[in-house]
Each structure stands twice: as C-alpha cells, then as structure tokens.
Amino acid sequence: MIDGIDGSGKSVQSQLLIDRLKKEGRSVEIISFPQYGQKSAGPVEEYLNGVYGTAEEVGPYRASILYAVDRFVAAFKIRKWLDDNKIVIANRYVASNMGHQGGKIKDPEARKKFFAWNDDLEYNIFRIPRPDLNIILHVPAGIAQTLVDKKGHREYLAGAKRDIHEDDLHHLQNAEEAYLEIARTFPNFELVECVENGELLSIEAIHKKAWDVVRGRLK
C-alpha cells in the first residue's frame, strides 16, 4: 500500500514499484482508490466536489464510510489476485481514511478512538484484505499543495483544479500530522521522507527509498 497526502507522488511511485517488481519476475497487480468512474466511488466523487458540504461538515465518520464501501466492492477482485499469488499494490487504501479523516479530529484520544473504529469497519465488518506493508510518502503540506496544481486533467473534478481536500491547506496540514502519527503508532507502516533540507527529492531518489523498504519484505 502506498499512501500520503495529496500531491505526495503516490501514483508515480506506485507505477515505479510495479515496473521494478515486474523486472524482478514478480506477478503484480495495481488498484487505485477511490475508483473514480466506478459506481462504488460515486458518493466519494460527490463528497470531494463539495456536494454534501465542506469536509468538516461531512465529518470523519460519514466520509470514511463512503470510502470504505468503495474498497469493499474492490476487495473481491483483490482477494482473487492474492489467491493467484500475485503482489497487489494499492495506490491509497485504509490509511487514507486514517490520515485525511483522522486529521479532522484534534483531540488525541478521540482520534485514537476513530482510528480503532475505522480499522474495525474496514477489516472486521467489510473484511477487506489487510496489507502486509504500508508505505507513507511524507511531503510537507505546503510543498504537496503546489504539486497538486501540476497534475493533469482529472475527470471527477469536472474542470476544477483541486478537490475540497486539496484546496484546503489547513486540511492537508492536519492530514500530514495524522499520517505521521499513524507511521509512528501502527505496525507494518514505513515512512519514506521525500524532502530533505527543504527540497523535494527526485522521483528516482524517492523510488530508491521505497524500493529498499519493499525489497526487505519480499519473500
């Protein structure tokens, strides 16, 4: 699983990992969340376009259920790949809820309660597969937001440049803080620092860091 705040380079790094794994002779599949364009992601697209109000108005619990349903639908395909002994790379997964939605909760104890609730919702109630490894790409929110504006056209935004998460620097900063807490707290999470001395590392340098983490877990 590759995760991190918006603009952290998840799609690029996911594809580089796939290419590297295939060179190593591994059978690999990728899935990206939300599954934009699919029925299961319809409510997520509307949420991100502000149809249901601001991110704060929707709140962490209701928003998390929208994303969880999308992953539940995809879980059947993921399990089939795993049964076929394939490596599955997820571009965003449960950690996205923990980061973006958990970041809305300021009280530390309330945030921990949310993390536990979300874990139970996805892995026990919806019973989606739990990743063996979770990589968090850490890019400071201010840098990440400028990278968002360099993205190409995205159909779900209907011509807009940013969704409601990307457009709110305060939200991104809170999500960044939550992701760092997740990486410190939960097992099977690894933090990949993408910025050194205030400068964004090259795509290749970030890939090397991510690959070193993955390579250490390969059987």
If one counts the domains in the chain, the total is: 1
Q: What is the pLDDT of residues 134-165, one digit of tens each?
A: 999 999 888 887 776 665 454 655 555 556 66
Give me the phi and psi of 89, to 5 degrees please.
-105, 125
Q: Give tens-digit pLDDT for 53-87.
A: 988 899 999 999 999 999 999 999 999 999 999 99
Residues 36 and 113: their CA atoms lie apart, in Å, by 29
Q: Which two tokens stand for residue 62?
A: 């209701």
Residues ≥6 apart with Cβ < 8 Å to 149: 161, 162
Rounded distance, CA 130 to CA 128, Å?
6
pLDDT recorded at residue 74 = 98
CB proximity list for 77: less than 8 A, separation 6 or greater: 31
**What does pTM read for this prediction?**
0.87
Q: Residue 154's pLDDT is what?
A: 43
The C-alpha atoms of residue 125 and residue 20 are separated, in whole angstroms, by: 34
Average pLDDT over residues 165-176: 81
What's the CA gap between 45 and 13, in Å, rounded?
23
Instruction: Say which range, 43-47, 102-106, 129-133, 152-156, has the weakest mean pLDDT.
Output: 152-156
The CATH number assigned to the domain holding 88 equals: 3.40.50.300
Q: How confident is the model at residue 171 (pLDDT cuts 50, 70, 90)?
A: confident
Task: Answer whether 135's CB lies under 8 Å from 182's CB.
Answer: no
Domain region containing 48:
2-215
Nearest-angstrom CA–CA distance, 24 and 163: 37
Residues 6+ apart with CB under 8 A from 88: 28, 29, 30, 31, 78, 81, 82, 129
